[in-house]
Amino acid sequence: MKLVAYAIGNGVEIVAASPERDWMDAARERAPYRCLPLAIANTHGWELRNPVGFSAMWGGTPGIDDIVVMPDGEGCIARSHFGEGVLTFTVPFIFRTPPEMDLIVQGPINRPKDAISALTGVVESDWIPYTFTMNWKFTRARTAVRFGAGEPFCHIFPVRRGDVEAMQPEIRPLADDPDLDRRYREWSASRDRFQADLAVPGSAAAKAGWQKHYQHGRDLDGPAAPSSHRTRGRPRPFRKPG
């Protein structure tokens, strides 16, 4: 399958999403990286990088002119366009996905930012001949927000149209699946023992740090995950002509 970005302007770089996060690096023993769902999400798609650093502030009213953008230089792609405390980034690409594939357009994954929150859109990118914007909503007035040069401001990944609507959600008692019920209870008891042993200096649990069942695709019975189980995300980079 191909994901094509037709460039309309220059300056905005699209890169495979990085597995690293500053706040995860700064955590004790870099423990957040032990959470495989978190680590996989970090790389689940591509990031668009801000070309020119700037600071922005919202005054607290719905007016379009109530956001002030203070760029470091020329070529800033952020502005106030909609009002309502929404900061808008120009995305200078028309994306084309395979038929019946949409593009999720959202803020950078697992990159929290104070005083402003990214909005999310679902774009039918298999047919549109026009661009879209990336938008962030201020959550606190009269607070300066900073987007540095090279900082991701948007994250994209494709999803098949209609998959959510095709799902038939159900809630059932766990006892309806006796084997799953057994496996869960055995894991839960094992988890409780492990958590208790963590507090014992020199114990096997203390040395291991965490159980790694999900990491290794196993449960207490042995291998459980399908062959598609992964421990790293590997999105391919966008190729350029020539």
Positive or negative CA dihedral for 17, 147, 49, 3?
positive
Residue 223 is predicted with a pLDDT of 86
- DSSP sequence for 7-31: ESSSS-EEEEPPS--HHHHHSGGGG
16-69: pLDDT as tens digits: 999 999 999 999 999 999 999 999 999 999 999 999 999 999 999 999 999 999
69-93: pLDDT as tens digits: 999 999 999 999 999 999 999 999 9
> What single letter denotes the amino acid at residue 90?
T
Q: How close are the terminal C-alpha atoms of the chain, in Å?
A: 20
> Position of tokens 């996060």?
21
Q: How far apart are CA 100 and CA 114, in angstroms?
A: 36
Q: Examine the pLDDT at 105 and tell me if it is beyond 90.
A: yes
Per domain, the residue ranges of the chain are 4-162, 174-223
Residue 93 is predicted with a pLDDT of 98
Residue 202 is predicted with a pLDDT of 82
DSSP H stretches of helix in the chain: 22-26, 36-42, 163-166, 178-198, 204-208, 213-216
The mean pLDDT of 219-231, rounded to a whole number, is: 89
What are the φ/ψ torsions at residue 16 (nearest 5 degrees)?
A: -60, 135
Residue 167 is predicted with a pLDDT of 97
Query: Which residues have CB under 8 Å from 55's CB, separation 6+?
Result: 69, 70, 144, 145, 146, 147
Superfamily of domain 4-162: Deoxyuridine triphosphatase (dUTPase) (2.70.40.10)
Given a contact cutoff of 8 angstroms between Cβ atoms, the answer to whether 147 and 153 are in contact is yes
Q: How far apart are CA 135 and CA 151, in angstroms?
A: 15
Q: How far apart are CA 102 and CA 28, in angstroms?
A: 38
Q: Examine the pLDDT at 161 and tell me if it is beyond 90.
A: yes
Residue 220 is predicted with a pLDDT of 85
Of 18, 3, 24, nearest to 238 (Cα)? 3
Q: Examine the pLDDT at 197 and tell me if it is beyond 90.
A: no
Half-sphere exposure (Cβ direction) of 137: Cα atoms closer than 13 Å: 6
